[in-house]
């Protein structure tokens, strides 16, 4: 049995490794257009900021280590065409330009995403970057260490934009964030994002909401950003307005794609074409609460779904339990985390719901360094089943949201969670923890 994997980062290498573990005699070939495989892109902002000075630490396993495992990894090889009827891919060796064909018994598509870059005037000026690949991170780090690059403009206030804003702030840059929507971090509800926006302003980051970038000016390299509301000086720009699934090369293959280009898969990661599997950011993912497919390009899903795909390629029938869209980020002195549905999503799905929004604390006031934690909880009306939760605070936010994730996947009602026997000792939590307080506020 021969498996070809297209894309060698999270989902692709998870599938390749799992298949090889389950079926050591399988032949596995990975084509990756970049120079690196199997790295944690989630670590890139912390390499840019210098918190991690060694990018090789982000690489989980090298090409050579995969070779030792019996997985043939071809970096700088791009798959440009797929012919499912012949079970064939056309590959371009990016170093030599040579084209060749390869055939498979099973195919795994794990091509991830491409950053969205609208055709703005001046976009090709130097010092306008994206942060997607390890190569992008290495280039951006080279730019941020140059002292003349002081004025940084971040375009787009999603997860990556915000992590970069923090990285640039940490480096002592003057940071300006331009976001066309009326608030930052849309997967969170407004109660949470208002606290985060105020924090950015307190820390002297300049936040421009309801403003969209129109063009860039400069002489060789970017010097100015022009938006719908004004013009601002810039030495360095990072575009982080979103991503789209890297699936253009699948047009006309018969593989079903969603409206945004994501590959439609079932819970076993099978596409609409026999013997072709897909997972990770290039594909849709089943949502546990929505009970339907959604698009959530996160490393959490890519690793788990890639592994399930590998197992199923070997002959199993594992189903993904479903994503909750659990995600967290650090924003200077704050931690933010979310899981399940936001209030907006519950509204959009017409699910009857009730919410609580509480201010609790990480631990009792008589123990040093008490800090507030704000929690918003969304429960099903009547049953009080937990549907979603979000929180923000200085400390202890993420592990609390993880408790809500487990409650959602176990269909727990808020009143049961409000009486769960959680750990209590003054350095860690109150006898009534923030999770209890938010849960018991659902009446």
Ligand X SMILES: Cc1cc2nc3c(=O)[nH]c(=O)nc-3n(C[C@H](O)[C@H](O)[C@H](O)COP(=O)(O)OP(=O)(O)OC[C@H]3O[C@@H](n4cnc5c(N)ncnc54)[C@H](O)[C@@H]3O)c2cc1C
Q: Is 401 in the site for ligand X (CB under 6 A)?
A: no
In this structure, are residues 441 and 415 in contact, taking their beta carbons and an 8 Å threshold? no
> At closest approach, how far in Å is the CB of 228 from ligand X?
26
Closer to ligand X at the Cβ: 107 or 200? 107
Q: Is 46 in the site for ligand X (CB under 6 A)?
A: no
> At closest approach, how far in Å is the CB of 393 from ligand X?
18
Q: Which of 22, 42, 123, 406 binds ligand X (CB under 6 A)?
A: 42
Q: Is 41 in the site for ligand X (CB under 6 A)?
A: yes
Give the contacts of 21 (CB within 8 A, at least 6 positions apart).
none
Q: Is 236 in the site for ligand X (CB under 6 A)?
A: no
Q: Is 245 in the site for ligand X (CB under 6 A)?
A: no
Nearest-Å Rg of the Cα atoms of the chain is 23
Compute the distance between CA of residue 33 and CA of residue 137 in angstroms, rounded to an integer.
Answer: 16
Compute the distance between CA of residue 286 and CA of residue 265 in angstroms, rounded to an integer.
Answer: 9
Site string for ligand X, 85-124 (x = CB under 6 A): -------------------------xxxx-----------
Q: Is 339 in the site for ligand X (CB under 6 A)?
A: no
In this structure, are residues 347 and 218 in contact, taking their beta carbons and an 8 Å threshold? no
Of 421, 346, 429, 329, the residue nearest 386 (C-alpha): 346
**Chain position carrying tokens 């000086």:** 233
Report residue 332: phi and psi, to 5°.
55, -105
Q: Is 417 in the site for ligand X (CB under 6 A)?
A: no
In this structure, are residues 175 and 205 in contact, taking their beta carbons and an 8 Å threshold? yes
Q: Is 299 in the site for ligand X (CB under 6 A)?
A: yes
Q: Which of 4, 5, 11, 392 binds ligand X (CB under 6 A)?
A: 11
Q: Is 45 in the site for ligand X (CB under 6 A)?
A: yes
Site string for ligand X, 155-194 (x = CB under 6 A): -----x----------------------------------
- Reported as half-sphere exposure (CB side, CA atoms, 13 A), residue 24 has a value of 2
Q: What angle do CA 64, 70, 76 make, to 5 degrees?
A: 50
Give the E-state strand segments of 275-371 in sequence order.
276-278, 285-287, 292-294, 327-331, 334-340, 353-361
Q: Is 302 in the site for ligand X (CB under 6 A)?
A: yes
Compute the distance between CA of residue 206 and CA of residue 201 in angstroms, rounded to an integer.
Answer: 6
Q: Is 276 in the site for ligand X (CB under 6 A)?
A: no
Total residues in contact with ligand X, by rule CB under 6 A: 33
Q: Is 44 in the site for ligand X (CB under 6 A)?
A: yes
Handedness of CA 423, 424, 429, 432 (dihedral sign): positive
Torsion of the alpha carbons at 429, 431, 433 and 437, rounded to the nearest 10: -150
Q: Is 331 in the site for ligand X (CB under 6 A)?
A: no
Q: Is 388 in the site for ligand X (CB under 6 A)?
A: no
Give the contacts of 368 (CB within 8 A, at least 6 positions apart).
none
Q: Is 338 in the site for ligand X (CB under 6 A)?
A: no
Q: Which of 245, 280, 310, 388 binds ligand X (CB under 6 A)?
A: 280
Q: Is 31 in the site for ligand X (CB under 6 A)?
A: yes
Compute the distance between CA of residue 311 and CA of residue 289 in angstroms, rounded to an integer.
Answer: 24
> At closest approach, how far in Å is the CB of 301 from ligand X?
7
Closer to ligand X at the Cβ: 91 or 408? 91
Closer to ligand X at the Cβ: 10 or 434? 10
Instruction: Give the strand pairing for 71-75 and 327-331.
Output: unpaired
**Segment contacting ligand X (CB under 6 A): 211-219, 297-305, 315-323, 435-443?**
297-305
Q: Is 47 in the site for ligand X (CB under 6 A)?
A: no
Query: Does residue 42 carry a catalytic annotation?
Result: yes
Positions annotated as catalytic residues are 42
Note the residues at the interface with ligand X (CB under 6 A): 6-7, 9-12, 31-34, 41-42, 44-45, 78-79, 110-113, 131-132, 160, 246, 249, 280-282, 297-300, 302
């Amino acid at each position: 049995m021969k498996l070809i994997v297209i894309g060698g980062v999270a989902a692709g290498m998870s599938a390749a490794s799992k298949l090889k573990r389950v079926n050591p005699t399988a032949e596995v070939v990975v084509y990756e257009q970049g120079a690196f495989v199997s790295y944690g892109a989630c670590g890139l902002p912390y390499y840019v900021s210098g918190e991690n000075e060694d990018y090789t630490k982000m690489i989980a396993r090298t090409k050579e280590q995969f070779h030792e495992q019996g997985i043939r990894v071809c970096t700088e090889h791009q798959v440009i065409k797929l012919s499912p009827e012949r079970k064939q891919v056309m590959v371009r060796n990016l170093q030599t330009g040579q084209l060749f064909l390869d055939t498979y018994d099973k195919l795994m598509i794990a091509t991830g995403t491409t950053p969205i870059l609208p055709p703005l005037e001046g976009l090709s000026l130097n010092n306008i970057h994206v942060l997607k690949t390890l190569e992008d991170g290495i280039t951006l780090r080279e730019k941020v260490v140059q002292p003349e690059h002081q004025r940084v403009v971040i375009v787009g206030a999603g997860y990556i934009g915000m992590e970069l804003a923090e990285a640039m702030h940490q480096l002592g840059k003057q940071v300006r964030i331009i976001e066309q929507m009326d608030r930052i971090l849309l997967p969170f509800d407004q109660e949470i994002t208002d606290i985060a926006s105020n924090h950015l302003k307190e820390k002297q980051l300049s936040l421009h909401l309801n403003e969209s970038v129109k063009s860039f000016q400069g002489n060789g390299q970017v010097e100015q950003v022009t938006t719908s509301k004004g013009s601002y000086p810039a030495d360095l720009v990072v575009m982080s307005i979103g991503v789209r699934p890297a699936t253009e090369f699948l047009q006309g293959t018969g593989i079903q794609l969603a409206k945004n280009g994501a590959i439609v898969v079932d819970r076993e990661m099978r596409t609409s074409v026999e013997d072709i599997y897909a997972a990770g950011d290039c594909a849709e993912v089943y949502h546990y609460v929505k009970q339907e497919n959604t698009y959530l390009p996160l490393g959490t899903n890519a690793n788990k779904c890639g592994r399930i795909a590998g197992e199923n390629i070997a002959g199993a029938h594992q189903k993904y339990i479903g994503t909750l869209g659990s995600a967290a980020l650090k924003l200077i002195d704050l931690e933010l985390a979310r899981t399940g549905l936001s209030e907006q999503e519950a509204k959009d799905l017409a699910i009857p719901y009730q919410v609580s929004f509480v201010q609790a604390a990480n631990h009792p006031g008589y123990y040093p360094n008490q800090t507030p934690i704000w929690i918003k909880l969304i429960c099903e009306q009547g049953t009080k089943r937990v549907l979603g939760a979000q929180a923000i605070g200085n400390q202890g936010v993420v592990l609390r949201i993880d408790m809500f994730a487990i409650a959602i996947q176990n269909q727990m009602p808020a009143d049961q969670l409000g009486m769960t026997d959680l750990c209590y000792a003054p350095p860690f939590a109150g006898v009534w923890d923030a999770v209890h307080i938010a849960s018991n506020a659902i009446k």
